[in-house]
A and B are shown apart, each in its own frame.
Chain A
Amino acid sequence: MSTLNFISLFFILFLTFQTPPVLSWKKDEFRNCNQTPFCKRARSRQPAFSSLTAHQVTISDGDLTARLIPKNQTDGQIKPLILSLSIYQDGIARLKIDEDPTLNPPKKRFEVPDVVLPEFESKKLYLQRLSKESIDGDVGPSSVVYLFDSYEAVVRHDPFEVYVRRKGGNSRVLSLNSHGLFDFEQLRVKDEDEDWGERFKGHTDTRPYGPQSISFDVSFYDSDFVYGIPEHATSFALKPTRGPNVEESEPYRLFNLDVFEYIHDSPFGLYGSIPFMLSHGKSGQTSGFFWLNAAEMQIDVLGEGWNAESGILLRSKQKTIDTFWMSEAGIVDTFFFVGPSPKDVVRQYISVTGKPVMPQLFATAYHQCRWNYRDEEDVEQVDSNFDEHDIPYDVLWLDIDHTDGKRYFTWDRVLFPNPEEMQRKLAAKGRHMVTIVDPHIKRDDSYWLHKEATQKGYYVKDATEKDYDGWCWPGSSSYLDMVNPEIRSWWGDKFSYENYAGSTPSLYIWNDMNEPSVFNGPEVTMPRDALHLGSVEHRELHNAYGYYFHMATSDGLVKREHGKDRPFVLSRAFFAGSQRYGAVWTGDNTADWDQLRVSVPMILTLGLTGMTFSGADVGGFFGNPDTELLVRWYQLGAYYPFFRAHAHHDTKRREPWLFGERNTELIRAAIHVRYTLLPYFYTLFREANSTGIPVVRPLWMEFPSDETTFKNDEAFMVGNALLVQGIYTERAKHASVYLPGKESWYDMRTGTAVKGGVTHKLEVSEEYIPAFQRAGTIIPRRDRFRRSSTQMVNDPFTLVVALNSSQAAEGELYVDDGKSFEFLNGAFIHRRFSFSNGQLTSVNVVPTAGKSQFSSDCIIERIILLGYSGGLKGAMIQPANQKTEIERAPLRLQGGHSPAVVTIRKPGVRIADDWTIKFL
């Protein structure tokens, strides 16, 4: 039937031939800062605007507490604000400022629940005392408390300011309100002639509670660049948005939106929001600031000299980057992370918001997606074509059209009459399926889910307290109130095999449109005056809506297998903490080179802010990539933590074998690179899962003192061992690649040693993108190719030992059952390999008491030594005392001829065992 398939492909190509994408970011449909009253107001304020002073600074219940009162207040009109500063283990200070609940404000302000880990509270240090100092000739005092190691937190009373400093001297790390831009609009009763409503593009926001925004400045000291606050399609090091040499720019916006055809360089807010910023500077030190607030946020990065005319006297002479944070509602609940290393800051942030998921092995492999694989036959064709072309893949995805009229948890029974059978067929090859489940529920009285949700009153309400009715894929739709734990639990039950007819254990879930996307809502989302549990307005939790939905789905999958199966849920929207629930991707990107390029800073930023399991649609969602771009995208995408190809339904089919034999070969080679590196990736995912250190990281995370790396966002590190740089231009002949550090690097393709600390101008081949293994590291590989990662579990390993100048190297391998939660009970193999003094040893990273509950018979079939200066006499394996041969053998088995490198042939040692190999 291949002929028929070919013909139908032809037709699809033919039919889509004449529909070039029209780039059309609908800028006017979204508010800019000037159209957003709170942002406009805040941005117009001048430094030293704030006149708050701290009173009654004291220690209470282990926290530093104070009341903030305007300095020249005479009539008592403005109520005091309550401040509390808590200190947590490992260098975290938490500053909260809210209205005083005892003074009966019209409404309790919203605090985002279920983001900060419950166990975080147990890390609180109960402050015993504070010391009062007069610093830098201040008339008033400052209160100083212990923070961490050599750090102290300081509350300056007048003018009010909070900062972290190093003990002894006045070397600051982070500060809040140093420029006096702090403002907190307190809730109040509406005057009769006041109109609080806001109109935008025909939508009216009733704003029954009036203005309630918060804004303040945050300064990062000894800092050259700031990073973080996803999601924006822009450079990794955040460009200033205000300042003397800055072009007119919007602030970085954090407001989860479904942006149609987003552009590649803009501070405009996309699908997710993580209000966490990191700074890094020449000192090699990093600090971080996180504001737990789910309302719309706008953040300015202020260019040097932005405050030249303010006349404000700054206490610090350190080089700082100032930032300005504005939010529409909520409270001040901020976290200061002192670092000092980049990895420390990430760890600190993760200790507040949670560790990234440990994905199942299959989820770290290659995913094949398209809107839409039409029917069961299409699925079968695509699946068998992968086999026919010997290209591995692990997951086949079904987009919205697989459902019965976009009613999730249902199947179009004409197109998919036997979904279980279909999944079973895939599962027989060790493959999985993912179906989409979106948050909009079709308002159809014959749809069981809608009926139940309506009866139970589980929908978000509109401003008049009726079930909110918005428009999305199914037409008229309602949205579940996922902030309510009861509803989340109910939702989770829907994923049971019983409730989700046609689902099988190999089926996992994709949450799209969960910003939430509402086609006829203001800015394509839910009105801000919609109401959630406890009369919380949507404006207060908007950015976390997708997070709760993701959480509910993920918990549902855990429940489905009674806690025995790790869930896999891909989400488009995210918030701080989403890393605990699954993967995210960068949304509906476009098939062009710029978007290929920007995928790297986007993924680096996500990784830095906890969301390490992320990727961009390989090939670009909108539009048709030309073949070269598609191949380059596969070559880069193979290193994304989440590696999925996806395409819009109007695009030509672009499965890997559709571009001629040569390109099929190139794409196959790119996917194979990922599969050979799966043991390394899986080990890195485990590292991320236990520490938060992202799988894909910026160069400066590994080389914190190397200034050249600070702005580099075209290259990235995969773990600590692999540097990868994409090719982002058409028909590139050369690429400049900077290799940091003093040690050498080994070309992953040739094994050739290249000097570190230098920018190399490399010739570019169509066959691969530059990738180098750092000297001093060991990378585990699996060189046998299978249909999917599932068949690789018994395959032997290859170790690539890249020796440094002192003939030493180190690396890890983590293996578990790839599926269950047993690893949490110690069921895993985690080895540390180290090479020194002419011998390679394997030891347990975590010497567990007793035997691990997980064992593997896998062996190491090949050890490759790069940069080895000894002879090739042979090697002795201990404890078996077996001699083995050393020869020169190819570095790689795939992708054309490969130079011969020093190889230990068939050492045959088990990965589960301790062993030593001595080189003779």
Chain B
Amino acid sequence: MGTTASQLGKDLLSEYQVSAQNAHKRFTELLTKDEKDLPNTRVSMERVLTLPELKSNPFRKRICYVFSTSEQKDGSLTFEDFLDLLSAFSDSATLEIKSHYAFRIFDFDDDGTLDCGDLEKLVNCLTGETDETRLTTEEMRQLINNILEESDIDKDGTVNLSEFQHVISRSPDFVSSFKIVL
């Protein structure tokens, strides 16, 4: 029962209910004409961020960095990376997968834990670009203290992956809001 690679790929993809044809169509729209003929092209981050699903997302740059497999760490995505992105954000990805990737997205300095600097950048992303929507330093400090008080179980001043997953698993609407559909 020898199966070809593409069929196996489709089998796995169909398990994730990600429509490969749709994803491929949207991805090739980002490529220029001569790039379309090359296999395994990388699309730069700026072009990926023109997708409407990502354009309004405050974490768009982090998402590109996390799913990118390029050596230069410039956030560029191949088609496989793009599919990884879609399957992690799809409806049928499990809570563990989503929380794992969410943790990596929120970890701005890539050190494996969410410390005060990460949390501050996170809150600033969430409150928008303009000055009137940002929090004051006092409010920020209090907010970060509250977050650490709630989530940091071992009181080391940072939130690690298991603490993060513990908090997220209790949240009723994480799974439904951590979704991107093309």
Genuine A/B complex: no
**Chain A interface (Cβ within 8 Å of chain B)?**
none
